[in-house]
């Protein structure tokens, strides 16, 4: 039973570390301003499935066929990840038309270079489900509270045992 608890504790700490990594990396002042985002819809299937995660970074230039993420990330707005379908120049500025691979028509909105967060570098299927689950306030609180309680309990037991051993040794002297 003791080894099973250690295994569960290890898995839990590993999952917590992965979630923390995904939450902290976008905040670090890294070169290229890498972002980790969840895929929320199936508009890019079969390339990216809903529930996946994409890692996005700015690129020097964007071309037809590149998969880009654009739009604001806020409480009420979610960035979109679609493929560049066409590029045109308007007043000397590149303007991009995008389209989701699963969509029949291109997006109606034209995208400016300043709207683009970056190009998709890596995709990880299904990780977004876990990331979105851990970002819920109640779950996030439990991710902090449960390990803290477990650590306090385990360390308290160790201290109690050590005090008991020291007490027996001093009584025998």
What is the predicted pLDDT for the residue at 134? 67
What is the predicted pLDDT for the residue at 85? 93
Average pLDDT over residues 124-143: 72
For residues 91 and 112, the answer to whether their CB atoms sit within 8 Å is no
What is the predicted pLDDT for the residue at 51? 80
Structural class in CATH, domain 2-135: mainly beta
Q: Which residues of 100-135 are buried (b: 16+ CB within 10 A; e: fewer)?
A: beebeebbeeebeeebbbbbbeebeeebbebbeebe
Domain boundaries, the chain: 2-135
pTM: 0.62
Confidence band of 56 (pLDDT split at 50, 70, 90): confident
């Amino acid at each position: 039973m003791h080894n099973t608890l250690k295994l569960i504790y290890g898995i839990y700490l590993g999952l917590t570390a992965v979630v923390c990594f995904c939450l902290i990396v976008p905040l670090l002042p890294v070169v290229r301003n890498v972002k980790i985002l969840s895929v929320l819809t199936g508009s890019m299937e079969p390339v990216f499935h809903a529930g996946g995660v994409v890692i996005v970074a700015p690129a020097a230039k964007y071309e037809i066929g590149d998969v880009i993420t654009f739009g604001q990330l806020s409480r009420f707005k979610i960035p979109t990840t679609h493929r560049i379908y066409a590029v045109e120049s308007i007043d000397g500025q590149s303007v991009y038309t995008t389209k989701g691979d699963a969509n029949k028509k291109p997006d109606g909105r034209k995208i400016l270079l300043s709207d683009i967060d970056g190009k998709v570098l890596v995709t990880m299927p299904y990780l977004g489900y876990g990331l979105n689950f851990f970002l819920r306030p109640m779950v996030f609180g439990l991710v902090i509270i449960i390990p803290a309680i477990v650590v306090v309990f385990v360390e308290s037991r160790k201290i109690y045992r050590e005090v008991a051993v020291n007490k027996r040794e001093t009584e025998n002297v």
